Structure 1
Amino acid sequence: MKIFIVLAVAIAAVSASKDQIVNLAAGDPKVMLGLFNEFQWEFGREYAPAERRMRLANFQRFVKDAARYNEQEEDVTYGITLFADLTEAEAENMRGFNATGLPAANEDDDAPQEINPKFNLGSNHQSRMGPAKDQGRTNACWAFAATAVLEGQSAIVNGRYVSLSEQEVADCTQGSTVASGGFHNRALEAVQRTGHLTTHANQPFTHRDGYRCITSHQNALPFRITGVHQVRGDNGLATALAGGPVASGMAFDRQLSAYRGGIYVNTSCMYSRPNHAVTTVGYTSSYWIVRNSYGTGWGEQGHVRFTRQYNNMCHISSYAYYITVQRTGQEKEE
């Protein structure tokens, strides 16, 4: 009975202020337990008794860290997310990008960048895309980042959003897997090579690796890719966004795992290795709008705003790639 009373109190408090209850739970074991029970219900987590003790310990550390982040920053909110009961190894296993072997962008390279000038519709493509997708407990962030670029470009060309198949992208990208991770640039190059991508409905994401690259389903792309290009620093990222979304590598750390909203500022991530792939979908003079693949329950409906106060925040422009396209069935215009 006590658990249900504490849970009811926690739920009532959370409905009033999510960040306040996190801060309160950090210093009150009863509130912490109620918050943990609510977390289990909200995220559908079920544990055996022995595992529950371990998960509760993970949850307590996560909540206390989130409360500490809230004390340190006024303009950003931290709280409970899907990562709250995971071990560090489990969380890291949902960040499947490794920049080893890939060249980082050169900010000083002032060579002109080719974009899609005919499709230049401004600096924010978020409204043209569907809700942020959920990669689940996989290392397939790279496939989701690449697919989001293709979905955004398709919406620009076609004028409507169509959910495309991450599974086909994953199965057709050599040297990259759902289980062990991969590279968003190689995923885009794979689609350029096959010239094909079907819808999510035709080939849904299975959370595991397929046996072969299947391109027998109807092609849903209204264009062919004429090039996969790496951006050149923050200025290059802004330029590339004029033509569509950009797949970006970044450093995703424990603090960002607890992000709930606001303009994210964390210079310490600059000293961490890039380990995650996301999609940059827009910007303002103050921040980048970055789309994640942890569903709409993380961050701001699945997005995070990265400050532009510091150059190359969390390596967001070091390993960023965009595509140039030609509408299918049309001659390339000079």
Structure 2
Amino acid sequence: MNMFIILMVAVAAVSGSKDQIVNLANGDPKIMLGLFNMFQYEYGKEYAPSERRLRLANFRQFVKDAARYNEEDEDVTYGITMFADLTEAEAENMRGFNATGMNDDDDVYEQAEVNPKFNLGANHQSRYGPAKNQANTNACWAFAATAVLEGHTSIKNRRYTALSEQEVADCTSGSTVARGGMHNKALEAVRRTGHLATSASYPFTYRDGYSCNTRHQNALPFRITGVYKVNGDNGLAAALSAGPVAVGMGFDRQLSAYRGGVYSNRSCMSVQNHAVTAVGYTSSYWIVRNSYGTGWGERGHVRFTRSYQNMCHISSYSFYIRTQSNGEVE
């Protein structure tokens, strides 16, 4: 029988979950190789003959690490993700929160009282649309900011509209797709221009070098009246009652293999290197949207425990906005 078919049968036999097959592959080289071939097929990976050995070695170590994480953490499932064949340096290039100088900006931002007009809680984050995919760029900061603006647009219009990360990137001074940036500066840039096009009219090109372009039709049904910094976990919960929040967080190797569950490993608290968007919460966990597409985590989301304060730095450098509908009188 073809190894691909054997693997598919094995996957179905292990609790119906392909994530659990990492434990089998850990002890069987043939299953490991077959799993690598499946990974290539699923993610559309193609390698030159000289590169394949390196990618297989990276993949083998990633699978072994995922199997170990499954043994150590019964509350979370770990498995194969788009990071499986990457070196750590390559993976780090997809975590583009550039925190250089962020403390210099702290005194600029007020920690305003939030007026909770909407109580979306844990079950309504789907109103904000699907998790997008930044691909192999450092543009997480632009995607995090855009997701906040998409959420507020959905609240105002009662329908989802995909907005332009490329315009955000082009109009944010000092931040780039290649080198990274800061989500608060992206929100400030949109506040200044008062403009953001749809992603259909101004698509993401994965490149830098464009000038700020606001010639496309403005898709924002509001203007931003202020960008504010979250004040701790309680402030994050309050801000989420009014809309999504752009979050700077620590994203480590273990999170790269996350497939589902409530994450509570505090090792991610050692560094802030990634920008994401908090979209909801319960009494037990935060719901955070990533920008690695719907194939990572829980359809692009991760749940962080609320048992620890500031889990993964989730409330250290996080920002929300206040808006005023276009045409409203102040």
Establish whether TM, by shorter chain, passes 0.5.
Answer: yes
* Alpha-carbon distance, 1:227 to partner: 0.2
**1:20 aligned residue:** 20
Secondary structure of the residue that 1:103 maps to in structure 2?
Answer: helix
Question: Contact between 1:99 and 1:274, CA under 8 Å: does it hold in 2?
Answer: yes
1:1-334 paired onto structure 2 within 5 Å: 5-15=2-12, 16-103=16-103, 113-117=112-116, 119-124=117-122, 125-270=124-269, 272-332=270-330
What residue identity is the alignment partner of 1:38? M
CA distance in 1, matches of 2:104, 2:24: 43
Question: Contact between 1:168 and 1:203, CA under 8 Å: does it hold in 2?
Answer: yes
CA distance in 1, matches of 2:28, 2:86: 21
CA distance in 1, matches of 2:285, 2:276: 15
* Alpha-carbon distance, 1:233 to partner: 0.7
CA distance in 1, matches of 2:308, 2:86: 30
* Alpha-carbon distance, 1:158 to partner: 1.1
* Alpha-carbon distance, 1:7 to partner: 1.9
The superposition leaves residues 254-309 of structure 1 with CA deviations (integer Å, 9 ceiling, x where unpaired) of: 00000000000111122x21000000000000000000000000000000000001
Secondary structure of the residue that 2:324 maps to in structure 1?
Answer: strand
Q: Which consecutive aligned stretches of 4+ in structure 1 deviate over 4 angstroms post-superposition?
A: none
Residue segments in structure 1 that go unaligned for 5+ positions in a row: none
Question: Contact between 2:137 and 2:177, CA under 8 Å: does it hold in 1?
Answer: yes
What residue identity is the alignment partner of 1:306? F
- Describe the shift of the 1:26–1:64 C-alpha distance in structure 2 as closer, same or farther (beyond 3 A): same
CA distance in 2, matches of 1:29, 1:216: 56
In terms of mean alpha carbon deviation, does 93-102 or 172-181 score higher? 93-102
In terms of mean alpha carbon deviation, does 201-210 or 176-185 score higher? 201-210
What residue identity is the alignment partner of 1:7? F
* Alpha-carbon distance, 1:162 to partner: 0.2
* Alpha-carbon distance, 1:136 to partner: 0.4
Secondary structure of the residue that 2:217 maps to in structure 1?
Answer: coil
Question: Contact between 1:105 and 1:230, CA under 8 Å: does it hold in 2?
Answer: no
* Alpha-carbon distance, 1:14 to partner: 2.3
* Alpha-carbon distance, 1:20 to partner: 2.3
What residue identity is the alignment partner of 1:237? L
What residue identity is the alignment partner of 1:101? G
Secondary structure of the residue that 1:317 maps to in structure 2?
Answer: coil
CA distance in 2, matches of 1:150, 1:251: 23
When the two chains are superposed, the root-mean-square deviation of aligned CA atoms in Å is 1.6
CA distance in 2, matches of 1:183, 1:173: 9
* Alpha-carbon distance, 1:50 to partner: 1.3
Using the size of structure 1 for normalisation, the TM-score is 0.94
* Alpha-carbon distance, 1:11 to partner: 2.0
- Describe the shift of the 1:284–1:9 C-alpha distance in structure 2 as closer, same or farther (beyond 3 A): same
The superposition leaves residues 4-26 of structure 1 with CA deviations (integer Å, 9 ceiling, x where unpaired) of: 72222112222432232110001
The superposition leaves residues 78-103 of structure 1 with CA deviations (integer Å, 9 ceiling, x where unpaired) of: 00000000011110000000223213
CA distance in 1, matches of 2:105, 2:264: 21
What residue identity is the alignment partner of 1:31? I
Secondary structure of the residue that 2:5 maps to in structure 1?
Answer: helix
- Describe the shift of the 1:115–1:105 C-alpha distance in structure 2 as closer, same or farther (beyond 3 A): farther
What residue identity is the alignment partner of 1:230? K
Identity %: 72
Using the size of structure 2 for normalisation, the TM-score is 0.95
In terms of mean alpha carbon deviation, does 215-224 or 17-26 score higher? 17-26
* Alpha-carbon distance, 1:49 to partner: 1.0
Secondary structure of the residue that 2:303 maps to in structure 1?
Answer: strand
CA distance in 1, matches of 2:166, 2:23: 40
The superposition leaves residues 58-78 of structure 1 with CA deviations (integer Å, 9 ceiling, x where unpaired) of: 000000000000001111000
Question: Contact between 1:104 and 1:318, CA under 8 Å: does it hold in 2?
Answer: no
Question: Contact between 1:94 and 1:141, CA under 8 Å: does it hold in 2?
Answer: yes
Secondary structure of the residue that 1:52 maps to in structure 2?
Answer: helix
Question: Contact between 1:282 and 1:288, CA under 8 Å: does it hold in 2?
Answer: yes
What residue identity is the alignment partner of 1:209? D
